[in-house]
Amino acid sequence: MKPVKAIFFDMDHTLIDCLTADTRSYEIVARIARQQIPQINTPELIHRFKQLMKDAPFDTEKRIPVHPWRVGLWQKALNAQGVNHAGLAEKLNITFHSDRLAFYTFTNDVQDLLNQLLQKYTGVIITNGDPVIQRPKLKACQAEKYFRHIIVGGEEPLEKPHPEIFFKACEVANCQPSEAIMVGDRLNTDIAGGLNAGLKATVWVNPSNESVSDEQNRPHYQIISVLELPAILNLL
């Protein structure tokens, strides 16, 4: 059995605590919205924007760049309360994305983990998404300080879960799929992709301890936090 040579990491919700970053950013956005429109229901505004983001964070036809697209989502969320204020929608979008970067950091525990693991294993970040969004986040958390290899799906022909992006990671890590593992929080991209590419193992970061809803994409291992990864590596 071949030993593990490389670890492929997802970024959002795996290496980065996006929940805290988003929560703090939405608090700032809500404060600005109330300053402009005192009577606005900010919980409803944020809830509606989150739902719109969940349904379509990017233009599916790829005709509209990501930031104008998301300004449109803010405008729809405002419109739902009878507010037609394009300037405010743009300000909310700029604030959300710029202020969120301040909270995009590797915790001390994650830094220690990476310093430990990347002495022995080759690390690669594989993150889906538009580089206009992902690259500033990677810069904010100083990912290049730890990772020589970073692959942004939006810069590639195919994103996760397509096996090609994992094969590229194997190429830059100088390893075979059977010598690499994938660590991520999403069954339909991280885990499915690792399985599609025939990696040695897939590790699902599952902080809510949810049951596996997709039997086709059942991970080899589950952990509550990426900090538990060394215990999994000891099994491989």
Question: What pLDDT, on the 0 to 100 scale, is given for residue 62?
Answer: 86
Question: What pLDDT, on the 0 to 100 scale, is given for residue 56?
Answer: 95
Task: State the Cα–Cα distance between residues 52 and 162, nearest whole angstrom.
Answer: 25
Question: What pLDDT, on the 0 to 100 scale, is given for residue 213?
Answer: 80
* Angle subtended by helix axes 86-100 and 18-36, to nearest 10: 150
Band of pLDDT at residue 186, cut at 50, 70 and 90: very high
Band of pLDDT at residue 72, cut at 50, 70 and 90: very high
Band of pLDDT at residue 214, cut at 50, 70 and 90: confident
- Tokens representing 177 are 């799929």
Which domains are present in the chain?
Answer: 6-16+105-233 (3.40.50.1000), 19-102 (1.20.120.710)
* Contact indicator for 82, 114 with CB cutoff of 8 Å: no
- Tokens representing 193 are 């992709």
What does the mean pLDDT of the chain come to? Answer: 96
Prediction pTM value: 0.93
* Contact indicator for 40, 77 with CB cutoff of 8 Å: no
Q: Of residues 44 and 213, which shows the higher confidence score?
A: 44
Task: State the Cα–Cα distance between residues 177 and 159, nearest whole angstrom.
Answer: 17
Task: State the Cα–Cα distance between residues 134 and 155, nearest whole angstrom.
Answer: 10
The percentage of residues in the chain with a pLDDT greater than 90, rounded to a whole number, is 93
pLDDT tens string 86-139: 899 999 999 999 999 999 999 999 999 999 999 999 999 999 999 999 999 999
Identify whether 161 is preceded by a cis peptide bond (ω within 30 of 0). yes
Band of pLDDT at residue 64, cut at 50, 70 and 90: very high
- Whether 204 has a pLDDT exceeding 90, the answer reads yes
Question: What pLDDT, on the 0 to 100 scale, is given for residue 80?
Answer: 96
